[in-house]
Structure 1
Amino acid sequence: MNSVAPPTESRLPTDALGNPGTVTDALSRRLVDDFVLGFIACEARAANLAVQAHADEHPYVQACHAALQMFAESASAAASARPHIARAAAQAHLAHPREQRFIAAVAAWVNGDLRTAIGLHEAQAREYPRDLASLKLGQYHCFNLGDCAGMLRLALAAAPHAADVPQMHGMLAFGYEQCHLMRQAEASARQAIAMQRKEPWAHHALAHVMLTEGRLREGLAFMQDVSETWTDLNSFMLTHNWWHLALFLIDLGRADEALAVHDTHCWGVVRDYSQDQIGAVSLLARLELAGVDVGARWQALAPWLAPRTQDHVLPFLDLQYLYGLARAGRPEADTLLAHIEAHAPRAPEATRAAWQRVCVPAAHGLLAHARGRHAQAAQALGQALPRMIEIGGSHAQRDLFGQVWLDALVRSASPWALATAQDLLQQQANGQPESLRLRAQLRTVYAALGLPTALATAASGPA
């Protein structure tokens, strides 16, 4: 029997990063490159594969389609992805081993098995370290599970082999930052930006470093300077970098400008997208906690949150949907709470503990805070906060829940609660001497404790 030898690696077509594959159709190869390069650069062109009228049954192309459907982070995302991943799996034997592993990883994601997906992405980073789309997808899953070490491990495996790619250094920077390795994070972010000024993920990582270290004026100036490069981005990256810029404004006492950033850059880009919605919730909440009247903005946001009561894609998302609905006075907040309680015990294994032990008490606490039941909010959020990393999100994003808890402590006004608030707020102010927001909150606490309010300024240094 005659047989045809498979092509050698050197004779296979490659993607834009030099990874071998089996996609031969010219248009499909261009769209795959858009997906790969657009995904790692946080650019809207990553979605061209899904929006352009082009039917290619190639298994790798179909797996990329499925991944794009899953990024909707909606209740219907998996159902939309399944036909694509089923076609990919059926023909996976025709694909290259690198493509096969990517197909298997996306299939695990669609099936809710994030740990298996991460394992496959880690194997890919070791064997095909220039498959940066796989790397970034693995980091995304680690991020959503609160696995900061996993994010860094993935990036470190690939970094020596993709050092010529600016986005590689941006991904490495964020992995370092989430592991609190600030010097390494800043060095990697600056390396990425030196290679390519338009590297929004590196901008984002450096904003995290500067916020964490209390370099508020420097952070604001940096983000304002690079904002001119935020063109052709996906809505998450665009709105999220403006969100970070707004955080600097809030802490620097420029809340009116932060509110204008919300109205102009953070809300209204893609209103039905999960990340745009939670960015708006988080920013409005932080503005209110800083004493700003946000007017009717909760009511304007609520109709976009109301359909989310049965999503349960990630606990981190559900908590913010619930708070936004509650602040708008919508009954769907109670519906979402009931659905969270029902979903928690049957959630996928990788996230079940986070749903049960973190999301459920946090949801009760957030709903109580939104409705002015501050003692109840302080108790419930205090139960959830020590394990809050398990629901995913970044340190800066999860800080919202800590801010709500501190506000609940202050407003509940018991001696224990006020003493706890002073202990935490003073430590934060010591590390962020430029923060006018923290000083104002400390003055309130010191007044309630019968201590001189001047201590709020004296202890944290000059403005």
Structure 2
Amino acid sequence: MLKDRYGNPASTKSEAAMAKYNEALDLIRLYRGDPIAALDDAIAADPDFGGAWAARAGLLVQQTDKAYADEAAKSIRAGAEANLNDRERLHLRAAQDWAEGRYSDGTMRLARIAQEHPRDVLALQYAHVGCFFLGMQSELRDWPLQALRAFKSGEDGYSYIQGMAAFGLEECGDYARADIYGRQAVATNPRDGWAVHAVAHVNEMRGDLEAGIPWLADNAQHWAPESGFAYHNWWHLGLLYLDQGDTAKVLKLFDEKVRPDPNAQVVLEWIDASAMLWRLHLEGVDVGPRFEQLATCWQRAGEDAFYAFNDLHAIMAFLGAGRATDAERTLKAMRRAAADGGDNAYMTRKVGLPLAEAFIAFEAGRYDECVEKIMSTRGIAQRFGGSHAQRDILTLTALHAALRGGLASTAEAIAAERLAHKPQSPWAGRLARQARELSAKQRAA
């Protein structure tokens, strides 16, 4: 039996299949190229290579897109009939957990694989992604830190685990160590988009444009080419330019880097596009036909109710495009999902639904209701996934609702919080001034 690039036994005797599988592992950890094609090549070389089927299923189920359900099910069935060692069998069970809506069970199963087999970087990476989707912030940090024990600095896999640890450290507020781990990982491999992204998060959370803009712009020639994750790092650069107040630059990045193909069918890309356009919408920026183009794409998933985080971003796009009927359709689908079983039902019930109702209230001018629903949910919003940077859209929407609704004290409170967290941020400063001006105006009335 052969071993993969990290030394884990694999259920194949085919050197050709193993070479393609190792190529897929490299593409997966770098978020580059087409790892499904590499796994398909491994399977073509050995159709009974159960580990390749399990890896394929795991990758597909974590796209949070119902469109991949049939292909994921095909991989799970084929994997169950193929050769599997005990570790690979657990991988396949984790993929099945995810496919059946048990995201937490699948993520914990992957974590246990990584703990028992600390050189299984794929299990760690899939568990890490699961933590992100479930808002498991401590585990996002701790599971990569656990795995580092099995690798020496400079060894294949070490820097990628550092990059994962960096993101977890950032999400837990340990910005200094996150910056160190992330920069070390990128120094080892500048193409590591996830590690680049971890440092980008540090700069975003600090509101540090002086460090953040050149970090992304100057390194782009390494991480951007052939990266399936590049749109998200470009999104982070767009956030920094939006903080700076350069909305023309933000729109240029949106058109050229975040959403270069307005018809692209990638849900994770739609999420970033919705989030960026909604931020511009809050600032009163005319985004032209972009919302409408995006809403047209979201239509195919608007009633999937597959993952509450996605549903909220679909609603942003529909509202921005003036498609209130489509937003209500998604809201109804979310209400149905909330009554079902599985982890998404819980996420929808506790977080997704009140936030969806809040955004709909914002667009309808019911600003008091918007503020109330967001502020009562914001403290547990990590339970439906995303990063602090992504969920910042909740705070921004509540603050703008308070400003528009004349809730001066609430606006000042939220603005003061933001400025305390990001004292260097020009955007935080602008919003704080708006809140103070609203208060002064009301006092003078």
1:421 aligns with 2:417: no
Measure the CA separation in 1 of the matches of 2:224 and 2:17: 25
Q: In the alignment, which residue of structure 2 is the partner of 1:327?
A: 320
Whether 1:33 aligns to 2:22 is: yes
Q: Which of 242, 258, 270 lines up with 1:266 in the alignment?
A: 258
- 1:130-166, Cα deviation, whole Å (9 max, x unpaired): 2111101001111111111122221122112134232
Instruction: Give 1:115 shift.
Output: 2.5
Equivalent in the alignment of 1:336: 330
Matched, 1:61 2:52: yes
1:410 aligned to 392, 403, 407, which one? 403
SS at match of 1:322: helix
Q: Map of 1:49-198 to 2, 5 A cutoff?
A: 49=38, 55=44, 56-91=47-82, 94-162=83-151, 163=153, 164=155, 165-198=158-191
How far apart are the structure 2 equivalents of 1:442 and 1:232?
Answer: 39
Counterpart residue identity of residue 435, structure 1 = S
| TM-align CA RMSD | 2.1
Q: Structure 1-normalised TM-score?
A: 0.89
Given that 1:173 and 1:184 are in contact with CA atoms closer than 8 Å, whether structure 2 keeps it comes out as yes
Q: Distance in 1 between matches of 2:16 and 2:10?
A: 15
Are 1:206 and 2:195 matched, yes or no? no
Q: Which has the larger radius of gyration?
A: 1
Distance 2:193 2:59 in 1: 20
Distance 2:380 2:54 in 1: 34
- Kept after mapping to 1: 8 A contact 2:371/2:401: yes
- For the residues of structure 1 that align with 2:48 and 2:10, how far apart are their CA atoms? 15
Q: 8 Å contact 2:101–2:344 — kept in the other structure?
A: no
Q: Is the 8 A contact 1:144 1:314 kept in 2?
A: no
* 1:268-321 C-alpha deviation (Å, 9 max, x unpaired): 357211111011010111122234221221112111011112222221111001
Indicate if the aligned counterparts of 1:327 and 1:371 stay in contact, CA closer than 8 A: no
Distance change (3 Å), C-alpha of 1:435 and 1:451 = farther
Aligned amino acid, residue 66 of structure 1: A
* Cα separation, partners in 2 of 1:116 and 1:104, compared to 1, 3 Å: same
The question of whether the paired residues in 1 share the 8 Å contact of 2:399 and 2:411 is answered with yes
Q: What residue in structure 2 maps to residue 377 of structure 1?
A: 370
Please give the alpha-carbon distance, in whole angstroms, between the structure 2 residues aligned to 1:51 and 1:240.
Answer: 26
Larger displacement relative to structure 2 (202-211 or 441-450): 441-450
Q: Describe how 1:262-411 pairs up with structure 2 within 5 A.
A: 262-269=254-261, 271-330=264-323, 331-348=325-342, 350-411=343-404
Moved more, 70-79 or 353-362: 70-79
User: Could you tell me how far apart the structure 2 residues matched to 1:418 and 1:312 are?
Assistant: 36
Distance 1:420 1:61 in 2: 53
Change (3 A) 1:52 1:311: farther
Deviation at 1:232, TM superposition (A): 4.2
More moved, 131-140 vs 175-184 = 175-184
In 2 relative to 1, CA 60–51 (structure 1 residues): closer, same or farther, beyond 3 Å? closer
Using structure 2 for the length normalisation, give the TM-score.
0.92
**Percent of aligned positions that are identical:** 26
On the 8 A contact 1:446/1:452 being kept in 2, the answer is no
Q: CA deviation at 1:50?
A: 5.5
Q: Which amino acid is 1:174 matched to? A: F
State the distance in 1 between where 2:168 and 2:426 align: 29
1:443 match: 433
2:335 alignment partner, SS class: helix
Q: Distance in 2 between matches of 1:382 and 1:370?
A: 17
CA contact (8 A) 1:290 1:437 kept: no
